[in-house]
Structure 1
Amino acid sequence: MFREKTDLLSPREIGRLYKRISRLKSLALKYKRSEVVQNTLFDISNLAATVEREDEFYSGIQSSLNKLLPADNFFIAILNQITGDLNIPFWVDEKDPHPSELYPLEDISSKLFSGLTGYVLKQKKTLLCDSDKFEELVSSGEIVSRGSDCHLWLGVPIYNGEQAIGVIVVQSYNKEINYGDIEVELMTFISQHISGVIERVQHRHHLEAAIKHRTKELSVAYDKLKQEVTERRRAENLQKSLFEIAELSNSNLDDNTFYAELHRVISHLLPANNCYIGLLDESNRYLQFPFYVSQLNVGAPKRRPFSDGLTEFILKQKKPLLLDNNDIKSLIASKQLYAKAPQLNYTETIYQWIGVPLFIQGIVKGALTIYSFTPSQTYQEKDLDLLTFVSQHIATAIERKLSAESLRQSYEQLEEKVTERTRALAMLNQDLEKEIAQRCKVEQQLVHDASHDTLTGLPNRARFMERLSQGIKHVRRHGLDRFAILFIDLDRFKLINDTLGHLQGDKFLIETARRLNLCIRDNDTLARIGGDEFVILLDSINDTRDAIEVTERILGELSQPYELANQSFTSGASIGISFSSRNSTDTSESILRDADAAMYQAKSNGKGCYVIYDNSISQQKSHDITLEIELREAIAKKALALQYFPVMTLDSEKVIALEPKLYWQHSQLGKIKQAQLNNIAEHCNLTKELDLYLFDQINKDYPKLATVIESHTQLHIEISSEHLKHKHAVRKLKNRIKECYFKPDNLWIFFDEKSFVQDSDSHINTFNMLSKLQLNIGLSAYGSAHSALSCLSFLPLSGLKLDPSYISHLNDPQHKKLLKAHQLAAEALDLTLYVQGVKTEMQRQQLASLGFFAGQGLALGESIKPKTLPIADDDTSLYA
């Protein structure tokens, strides 16, 4: 039937059927290949999940890959993440051996990096390379030819995240074997599994290594712990034995029981089946054996004269010995044993023998001995050391046992003497109790005085620092709590001491302490840590306002007048405030130092105020220290220069004098003028050095000065009163004045009036000394301290310079009267009066109309400008 139907088909239809059959066969082959690919990939996935070693996985990949494509030439290259080296853990090739065999004397990693493998790793892209592509890469210098030539080379990068960590490669030497997109996709899939296996195997390797290392540590720790436990048990056993020996020494046991108990204790520490104790009598001529035990069941030796037996040998040697039978025989042969008394020799059966001398009251009075008869019971050096250690305690116990009897005998006599002595002591006890009570009272007073100020009764610095340390520890434990430190410096204490005397100064401090106590709570701490320095610890404050409120209250109290020496005296204070923080580096010294720094800032701000510490103060303090160091270097290197400011007549504006002022051209701060230099020098105690430097610079400039000034031109020099406080400083100043090139007639030395009032005696003595040099002495800033006119009448003064504050009130009639009074007083005392701070032309004219002769200031600084001399006309700081 079918044949008949086929005969009905046309040749064209038959051709179509053959083509359809051909397509169906091709499709069937494709599906079959897909099934094989799917199964192979599934096998690789299972292999990646179950394999434990990399080489097993790589071998399995190569076997599975051979099912899909020819993979007889297959290798995998992996990059070491730590060293950066490229190595090949798996290699199969028909022609070339493994690179380590191909290049035995060369670096394999660098060889691989220079070839196709390194190219794929650096490009991080799959490369399907034929001979043409290979030649192109070699010609461009991107790779170097390695190994035998192949037909096709396929390399796929292995990724870990976004980082290429290796390459998987197949290659073909047969031109009939070709690779395409399917092979590339297959290799890409395999590379993903390789990355996961590498990470998992490496993780397992590290884990196993860590476990092995930890196991080794635990094993070592276990052995060490086991040894420690053994040692501790031995130590506990030894301690227990020593405790039992100590108890025996204090017991009232008879001799037999006492020595039997000693033997029991020794037996707990080491074998002592054969043991005896030998003791010398009081004459040291006889040896007796209060204890003796032996496995031979023989009786104890009788009391015998001191001879040459084993026991006597130990007593003579005075050191522990461990002897075996051979040692004993050698000693007998050398006639060190039993030469005089051979009848005492029973050592033939002894295997080992230990003898330890017993020191009683510092001398050898006996021996402790143990010995054995068989090799089954042996002793070692550690046993000798143990018995030696225990013997010291046994000797002590025996010593106490022996002395107990003599103590009991003398006890009755002692008791009678004690009774008699007790009656005598009872009579002395009453006097002693009184003396003790008195001494306790004195000690309590000494303890109080050691931690308190003797004048005010307040806690001193040591006591305050102790309280401050406790406060810091409390804040660290209780993070929400807070405290503040107030550092108080009295502004006019030195003036009170200098003018009213130290007795009034003490009264002033006592009254100040009383006022400060009124401003604080009971739980706060007030202390005096210096002459006029007080500190307050404000405990448990809520915020900054609490500290500010107390500070303002203190400033108000201290500003009230003091009644001293039957007159009213007003003082004030500068206060620095610092607060506790949660900073673990805070110490009592650092918090107090911060408050101190804030106090100095308050004094710089004009006194009578307070400043709260912040980082800017610390930075300013650091800046001041740096500036001080730089100033010292500048003085040493002669880096300071002089400017000369004119002193002129007010009517004709003629220069009658020059006033030299130092300045410092700082590399960062620019020009630092005399006023700033004085402030820096005052803080770092360089004031005297600046003045002496000024004299040296004047002599250096003198040749230029001599060419442009007239012979009668004066030189006005401001001198610090610091020179007058010590004899050596006065002597140095006097020598510099003598060395000055200016004639004494033209040389004027001015001292500040405030300093004169504070220390009049030193100034008067120095004025009298300097007046012998025939120079002119004057007071500057006159009127600022209101010194008595009577003082001027007996001082060797030649002139006065009025304080610049007077010039700023020329429009005030009262000030004009005051200026006129100063003028008349100066004329009456034959003193030249100069005015400072003449800033405007109007002021110059007003002063001239009032009859003033000379002055200096901005309005008088422009008339002289010699080119060869640095006469200043633009420095306003001089007249500020």
Structure 2
Amino acid sequence: MFRDEDETTPPRAREVERLKKRLYRLKYLAHKYKRAEVVQNALLELSHIATQVSSLEEFYLGVHHHLKQLISADNFFIATLDVNSGAISVPFFADEKDAHPSQLYPEQSLSTLLQQGLTGYVFRTGQTLLCDESKVDELVNAEEIVNLGSPCHLWLGVPIKHEDIVTAVLVVQTYDTNVSYGDIEVELMTFICHHITGVMERLKHQEQLEQAIQQRTKELSQAYDKLKQEVYERRRAERLQKSLFEIAELASSGSDNPVFYTQLHNVIRHLIPANNCYIALLNEESTHLTFPFYVSQIENQHPGARPLQDGLTEYMLKHKRPLLLDQNDINNLIAAKEIYAKAPTLNHTQTMHQWIGIPLFIHDEVRGALTIYSFSMTQNYQTKDLELLTFVSQHIGAAIEKKLAAESLRRSYEELEEKVAARTTALAELNKDLEKEIRQRRNMEAKLVHDAKHDALTGLPNRAMFMERLNHAIKHVRRHSLEQFALLFIDLDRFKLINDTMGHLEGDRFLIETATRLRSCIRSNDTLARLGGDEFVILLDTINDMNDARDVAERVIRKISQSYHFGTIEFHSGASIGITISGNKLDTSESMLRNADTAMYQAKANGKGCYVIFDDSASQQKMQDIAFENDFRQALQADELQLNFLPIVDLQTRQTRSLECRLSWEHPQWGSIPQEVLNKLAEQANLQVELDKYAIRLLDKCYHQLLISHGDNLDLHLMLSSQHLKHKHVLRGLKTTLKQTQLPLSQLWLFFNEKALVQETENHISGFELLNKLGVNLGISHYGSGHSPLNSLLFLPLKGLKLDANITKQLQDEQHIKLMSAYQKAASTLELQTFVDGLQSPEQINIFHALGYRFGQGCALASPFALVETQQLVCA
């Protein structure tokens, strides 16, 4: 029996042990499932928050709140990376000890600081980092990071990735030594980061979309304001035209004086506020003033006739010009005894705010005045009101003149009834006056019609009339296919020079003389018009072939090239002409004018003083140039440009001492595009500054690899545009870009073109002084092409000159060699390093070395090379 008991005991012990292990596993699984439930609930809450919040800041706050329920995350922040600029920011930060890094280090770049710390380490490695104080010390000693902020017990940073790129880092840290982070916290944080990356991208895109909507709303608002202003101006012009017709009708209405002047006042009030207004007229002897019309907000008593004295009205009549005066101006005139010195009782201006007086011309003499004034500070007249009233006053004067003539005629008729026989001669004179008035009215109406379709300065048809005739010509040749006509677009050379040097008055005389010359070049059935400025067009009606248009173009060029005489000054101009001929069934007036304008610009590009016949292929080439420029813009935005390095060699030892950085672009259609072409494209697209900053940033990215392959003892040369020196904010941008790089500024050479130095020396002096404070080396490139005076180099903190490559090619005779020797001696005297560009043969190397030049570059010394691409490195 005892033996049987002994045999059953071991199996029972093993069963108990197995049950204990099973119980422990069940407890572990229960704990794991409970934690999974907590994590699931937290993620559901985060998903709920993501659908409710309207900004990233609210989302980060919700993440922090629910993360504290899972792990000890009282000390928590999120760092984000701008993929385009590479800048790191901290949109959310919560720490029980430290303030926000931007407050701890106000004078330093937040992005640069974070790049140097643990956060930057996670961005660079793309791996989760859990470290304690010993791990931090290890990374500091390995020069992987710089220790920032207060020491903590544990630090955990998890990368947030979008399309395999680290876009943010989620960081928790604790100062409590009783708290510990392990694999579970790392796994939990990694899982949370994986789920919130999509939410962050969605909220980020939502914010960008809202910003775009706000920008578009602002643009639409500005367009609406502009449209309102255009509508206002059009309505104002319509009111002015309507008022002129009303004035003309009043002049012929035959109304009595009170009605006539009241209606005249109503017309004025439609154009400008005129609650206080009067019209004063001189009598025939010019000794007294009468007031046929008077209205005032303060005084109801109509002033009677009075002799001429020294009032405001007399002051304006004396000077015969429109006046806009405020209370200060009136007081100054009174103090200077210009007005109311002899008749102070006339002075009722104490309560006036502003006063406008316009002389009325009747019978080509100043015979009266139109005056309006205001008492309220809110009623302000401006110069445009003065100009408008001056223009209207001409028609008012004509209406009053006609009214007075009509009154005079009526009086003559009354007297004629009494003295018919005795006043026959007087009646004839009055009839002549009447005919004169009728002619004046007809001339006035004809002048209005003429002015609407003709240029006021030259009397030629304007754009509206020319386009009307061009439309008729196009319709005519469509009906008569055997006929054709030609269009010549003429632009005058050096017209702006006349205005700038001799003034606009001489410029107007030049245009009038040019119009006379152009008239002599065409037939009576042709149309010559002025489009504006110095642009003229000729419509050659019914020509035989293109030779007719060529003959006229050559005749115009000869006429315009003849000298102009302005007093004692002799001036020479020229004409650039674009020609297009009818024949295309799809031609419109706008397309033909555009084609002629395109040909004219081609003529200016060909050297001016010539003509070019429009060629559709040239237009297509222009479109190709525009497409090429657009490709360049897209390549610049997409970081498709590559960086190459051209060695600069010691001519004696043949060792590389410096590297010149050059950009290139592999175009899918045109192949490799070198730096020179990129500079021209950037100049055409006004992107010189952006191209230079692109090169600096690209060099900054490549610099670490450049150190590995070539060491740290080489200088770096960069050719920059002078656009950086023209404006202070652009220069500040260049300084900021250089400061944010890892490049050694003492080994960096910045070269600027000599031609720009010659044109804008003052900008270079001030700009070089600011750049010199950064510690960079400054130099002049393409030296010898702009022929800058040596004394200009004395005022610049220069350290080097780089000869123009074209000068190197021209090294053919003794004179060129002497000039190169002079350049070297002058540079040596000024303690400037000289660099020879474009060396293509051993003979050139020997000549320059013999002249004392030390450094050179070119295919005879070394060819450009490219660095091998590495991850996230855009240099070839």
Pair in the same fold by TM > 0.5 = no
Structure whose CA Rg is larger: 1
Tell me the TM-score range normalised by the shorter chain: 0.3 to 0.5
Give the TM-score normalised by the residue count of structure 2. Answer: 0.42
